[in-house]
Amino acid sequence: MIHWSLIVSFMGVLVAALGAYCGWFLFPNMVDKKVEENVIIADGSEQYKRFVQLPQPLTFKVYIFNVTNAQRIQQGAIPIVEEIGPYVYRQYRRKKVKHFSRDGSKISYVQDQHFEFDEEASAPYTQSDRIVVLNMHMNAFLQVFEREITDIFQGFANRLNHRLNRTPGVRVLKRLMDRIRGKRKVNFLLLKSKQKFYEI
Ligand SMILES: *[C@@H]1O[C@H](CO)[C@@H](O)[C@H](O)[C@H]1NC(C)=O
């Protein structure tokens, strides 16, 4: 009897040890390994396939501000815009892997994207809609141009002022005006005319 109970308790200890081993080491390691296999981008892995080509297309929605009073704007009116959309596209991405670094930590690739118009999802909008938008390139150009012109004029005005201040006759004239009208008023006037100049 003692003999049997010893064996049974020994088996109990063994099973407990085995359970502990499985529960704490074997299974977690296996799970980690499985997870790793699935997320690491290695040649031929599941994740690699997903990386190279998205399994399903992404939905790409475009909203556009349509200018509704283009004619009037050309005569100086403020633009009135209407948001239209979505124009829905399916975006497909495919990567061409060029190079894996030796340790597998870096990957270089080029990506092709192509968009397909989704007519159903976009209805009632179609690809042949007439849309009027601001000319972005022209607008950017005009903004830069305006800034440059302001700078040029400012530089010119500064130089002119400098010159005038150094011209003897002008100084006397200014001083005279100061005396006649009071300094503050003259300054105010000068300021005003300067501002006007900048506004051109
Ligand atoms: C956009 O605005 C123009 C007028 O500028 C109009 O003719 C056109 O129908 C509008 N497009 C849409 C899709 O509403």
Query: How does pLDDT run across 145-173, given as a tens digit for each residue?
Result: 888 888 888 888 888 888 887 877 777 78
DSSP labels, 152-178: HHHHHHHHHHHHHHHSHHHHHHHHHHH
Segment 29-49 mean pLDDT: 81
Q: What is the pLDDT of residues 120-145, one digit of tens each?
A: 999 899 999 999 887 888 888 888 98
Q: Which amino acid is at 45?
A: S
Rounding to the nearest 10 degrees, give the CA dihedral for residues 90, 95, 96, 99: 170
pLDDT value of position 110: 93
**Among 62, 68, 71, 81, which residue has the most ligand 1 atoms within 8 Å of its CB, making it the best to mutate?**
68
Residue nearest to atom 3 of ligand 1 (CA): 68
**Model confidence at 195: pLDDT above 50:** no
Separation between Cα atoms, residue 84 and residue 153, nearest integer Å? 41
The whole-angstrom separation of Cα 58 and Cα 88 is 10
- H/E stretch holding 114: strand 107-117
What is the per-residue pLDDT for 136? Answer: 80
C-beta of 73 in contact with ligand 1 (< 6 A):
no
Sequence ranges of the domains in the chain: 13-39, 46-134, 135-183
Which tokens sit at 132?
């009027």
Is 41 touching ligand 1 by the criterion CB < 6 Å? no
Does ligand 1 come within 6 angstroms of the Cβ of 81? no
| pLDDT classification of 1: cutoffs 50, 70, 90 | low
CB of 132 shorter than 6 A to ligand 1:
yes
Q: Is the pLDDT of residue 191 over 70?
A: no
pLDDT band at 182, cuts 50/70/90?
low
